[in-house]
Structure 1
């Protein structure tokens, strides 16, 4: 967000307390949501739970088109609608809730750098696999993305989204990468995250930050999503401390609290998406 927009959102957000009927909107979970969107939605859910802020998860087939940015998830809080993790973090901070207030300037800069790494590597890899790997595109992405729509709209929307993603990949230099090179990028990202986490419960010792929510969203989703092959999951499974990290957050913030992550999505129970 721009500085002006950021200041405006902060001013509006600070006026009212967090309501009990706050809602988080995302695509249909069992039929429609894709790997990257599910990861982003879970990251925001984790962040709000870490802030101890109640939110009702609402699944809508047209959530992407309801969002002010065209991306999911988005939250509806009072009269405000805010989409994506970054703006949501700023909105929540304006209401007096922050996970990173205890960090010093150096730590905040480091946290932001690792969040950029996750977005630039894991999120981009997820988008590449969904839209640029032909097997995944045909078997998973096309039927799920087009699920709510009838022909010819379903065909047009898939074609449009595929074109947008491929244009993005070309702009960032990923268009010429092979699937194996993408998997290697994921492995390097996981290696960096594993080294930073070490034996700590969270990336900055004993308390979670926005980085923990973001990493959990992506890694948990990768670990519990069935794709056309297991290579992406295997890259994450090579790092035992990242697996333990995901279990720790799942158990502390999701188990026995609500049905946002159903019993079928537990790491021990396997994937939830076809």
Structure 2
């Protein structure tokens, strides 16, 4: 088997070549339209990446495009365009920046790094999945918010076709991972358990690993801040998070440190 047919070898070569190029001033992050289109899960993922890049001190312009999902190489939001490279989702973006010498977790030991990855898996498996479930599997939310926002840039009947196609894809995914038969209350309870674990790990520290943020802090902030600031058909999801005062303080701390008084560079 040729080495070039092995994905891990290709990724290694990609990162090595990318590391030689400095971070440009015109790096761009793409997401769906901010006011009319972007949904809860995509907004949370995009905010997590923005927080991570700001924590690294890496400038990025946020550009909103109606077809951002279809522009992404993985079909996932957000993605960044840096030089001649396009990278989507937080995990690959973290690896990409590490190859350029920018990392938030180099100071962690092996045990801490493993713990950080475990909590990131928890957030993705619980919070991200819950966001997708509520968007597309709760009938009231899907009808009132999700389908109208998702389809807003497109003319009828394409708008309806794309929205129902996306809903079918997400519901099929939920069935595959065992969430298809869950009730809304069970999803809320999963979110509560996730927040309880995060709250206990954070404790009274400013960040999850004491005084310096890591990619875990960026990921948690992206999801929690988006949930508590996004209008849904019910406030129950946000209320579950608001019951943990240290998580709310954590979100305010990151917002004040990395987002307040910063120039808004997003444009549609």
TM-score class, shorter: over 0.9
Assess if the C-alpha contact under 8 Å between 1:64 and 1:71 holds in 2: yes
Deviations 1:92-114 (A, max 9, x none): 00000000000000000000000
Deviations 1:33-65 (A, max 9, x none): 000000000000000000000000000000000
Going from structure 1 to structure 2, the CA distance change for 1:91 and 1:167 (only over 3 Å counts) comes to same
User: Distance between the aligned counterparts of 1:226 and 1:14, measured in 2?
Assistant: 40
Instruction: Give secondary structure in 1 for the equivalent of 2:12.
Output: helix
Deviations 1:125-176 (A, max 9, x none): 0000000000000000011000000111111111111111111100111000
Deviations 1:57-82 (A, max 9, x none): 00000000000000110000000000
Q: Which residue does the alignment assign to 2:87? A: 82
Match of 2:11 among 6, 9, 14: 6
Instruction: Give secondary structure in 1 for the equivalent of 2:238.
Output: helix
Structure 2: which 5+ residue stretches go unaligned?
1-5
The 5-angstrom pairing of residues 48-59 of structure 1 reads 48-59=53-64
TM-score (norm 1): 0.94
Return 149-158 or 47-56, whichever deviates more: 149-158
| Count of residues paired in the alignment | 261
For residue 8 of structure 1, report the CA deviation from its aligned partner.
2.2
User: Distance between the aligned counterparts of 2:211 and 2:157, measured in 1?
Assistant: 52
Q: Which residue does the alignment assign to 2:3? A: none
Deviations 1:168-212 (A, max 9, x none): 100111000000000000000000000000000000000000000
The 5-angstrom pairing of residues 189-200 of structure 1 reads 189-200=194-205
User: Distance between the aligned counterparts of 1:71 and 1:119, measured in 2?
Assistant: 14
Instruction: Give secondary structure in 2 for the equivalent of 1:57.
Output: strand
Structure 1: which 5+ residue stretches go unaligned?
262-274
Q: Which residue does the alignment assign to 1:134? A: 139
Instruction: Give secondary structure in 1 for the equivalent of 2:256.
Output: helix
User: Distance between the aligned counterparts of 1:23 and 1:66, measured in 2?
Assistant: 13
Q: Which residue does the alignment assign to 2:36? A: 31
Q: Which residue does the alignment assign to 1:264? A: none
Going from structure 1 to structure 2, the CA distance change for 1:2 and 1:218 (only over 3 Å counts) comes to farther
Determine which structure has greater relative contact order: mean sequence separation of CA pairs < 8 Å that are 6+ residues apart, divided by chain length.
Answer: 2
Going from structure 1 to structure 2, the CA distance change for 1:2 and 1:236 (only over 3 Å counts) comes to farther
Q: Is residue 189 of structure 2 the alignment partner of residue 184 of structure 1?
A: yes
Instruction: Give secondary structure in 1 for the equivalent of 2:30.
Output: strand
Instruction: Give secondary structure in 2 for the equivalent of 1:167.
Output: helix
Match of 2:257 among 244, 247, 252: 252
Q: Which residue does the alignment assign to 2:172? A: 167
Assess if the C-alpha contact under 8 Å between 1:254 and 1:260 holds in 2: no
Large movers: runs of 4+ above 6 Å: none
